Amino acid sequence: MRTIKTRTIMTKSDQGNRWFGIDYHMNLYKGCPFGCIYCTSRCEAYHITNFDEVKVKENALEILEEELKSKTKPGVVSFGTLSDPYNPEEEELRLTRRALELINYYGFGVSIDTKSDLILRDIDILKEIASSNSVIIKISITTFDDEMASKLEPKVISSTRRFEVLKILRNNGIYAGVLMTPVLPFLTDTEENILNIIEKSHDADAKFIYTKLGVSLKTNQKDYYFEALDRLYPGLKDDYIAVYGSKQFCNTLQFRYLLELFLKKCSEYNILTDMNDIIKDYKKEIPQNEQMSLF
């Protein structure tokens, strides 16, 4: 496995645009082997070359510990916004596991985005963190249909298994829900798909489902997606070009109808959908004296 040099691991979140209320971004790995045809992280803005190859940041844990020590105020640290923290290499390397142990020791919370059932290995440490701090797990699911998922996300566990992972996390008292992103025009933007995801999320006791009902298509990310469409769904790329032209974000054509359907059904099941509501629901208020005692 290739290693890459780095000076920092944690970066402060943009206060004006906070994804799920996270305070710090962190990626221990660069690249991802899951092969999702739509992955936003392929965009050249993120400067990840050979994206399908997993690379490890040198001395990542040592740097992380120094950065955790230096923070005067604990916050929520995000894993997986660019590269899944539970890629197959993690089973042996255990970087994510050891990073969680450091985060717990120094009194920080955690936010994780993943498509892997390897997260179940770390339920014990996630429960320990959650006992005194904020934890939110987002299981990414684009379609309820396992056959379609195997095309869109060829090296990921089935959607059925991902719902099982969600249920296990919830049964262990861990705050978890679904990232229904992206929603792909002409493929996953159907009433059947959205309603099935909501039903299965409800069955798994999801606390939330978050979606933007569209897909980002930027630079080389778009090129990769269109190449995949030509291979998997010949002719569909032409529909994208005809409808969306050079747009960098493509909302589903039935956006208003599907949004109303989505919000109504989630409301019936008391599943949260609004980002601010989700943040308020999972974030714990840590007393100032408890924060100070950590340092």
CA distance 75 to 283: 10
**Which residues, listed in sequence order, are joined to residue 136 by a DSSP beta bridge?**
111
Expressed in percent and rounded to 5, the helix, strand and coil fractions of the chain are: 45, 15, 40
What global pTM score does this model have?
0.93
Q: Is 36 within the bounds of a domain?
A: yes
Q: Please give the single-letter amino acid code of residue 113.
A: D
The answer to whether position 291 is within a domain reads no
- The confidence score (pLDDT) of residue 42 equals 81
Interatomic CA distance for residues 240 and 220, integer angstroms? 16
> Is 295 part of any domain?
no
For residue 148, give the 3-state DSSP assignment.
Answer: helix
Name the phi and psi angles at 82, rounded to 5: -115, -35
What is the helix (H) or strand (E) element at residue 111, kind and residue range?
A: strand 109-114
Give the pLDDT score at 287: 52
- What's the CA gap between 118 and 86, in Å, rounded? 6
Neighbours of 44 (CB within 10 A): 12
The 8-class DSSP code of residue 13 comes to -
Q: Average pLDDT for consecutive 10-residue bins of the chain (295 residues)?
A: 81 74 90 91 71 86 94 87 90 96 96 97 98 96 98 97 98 98 97 98 98 91 94 96 93 96 98 96 69 48
| Size of the chain in residues | 295
- The single residue listed with the structure tokens 């099982």 is 164
Q: What is the pLDDT of residue 46?
A: 66
What gap in Å lies between CA 119 and CA 136, rounded to an integer? Answer: 12
Is 125 inside any structural domain? yes
Spatial contact of 117 and 169, defined as CB atoms under 8 Å apart: no
- The CATH number that applies at residue 76 is 3.20.20.70
Q: What does the alpha-carbon distance between residue 213 and residue 9 come to, in Å, rounded to a whole number?
A: 31
Cβ atoms of residues 135 and 110 within 8 Å: yes
* Residue 26, domain extent: 3-283
Domain count, the chain: 1
Closest C-alpha to 208, from 140, 266, 165: 266
Alpha helices in the chain (DSSP H): 60-70, 90-93, 95-105, 123-130, 146-152, 159-171, 191-203, 219-232, 236-244, 255-268, 275-282, 288-292
Q: Is the residue at 170 inside a domain? A: yes
Residue 79 lies in a domain: yes
Check residue 292 and give its pLDDT.
Answer: 45
Position 89 in a domain: yes
138: which 2 tokens? 């987002």
Q: Is residue 290 part of a domain?
A: no
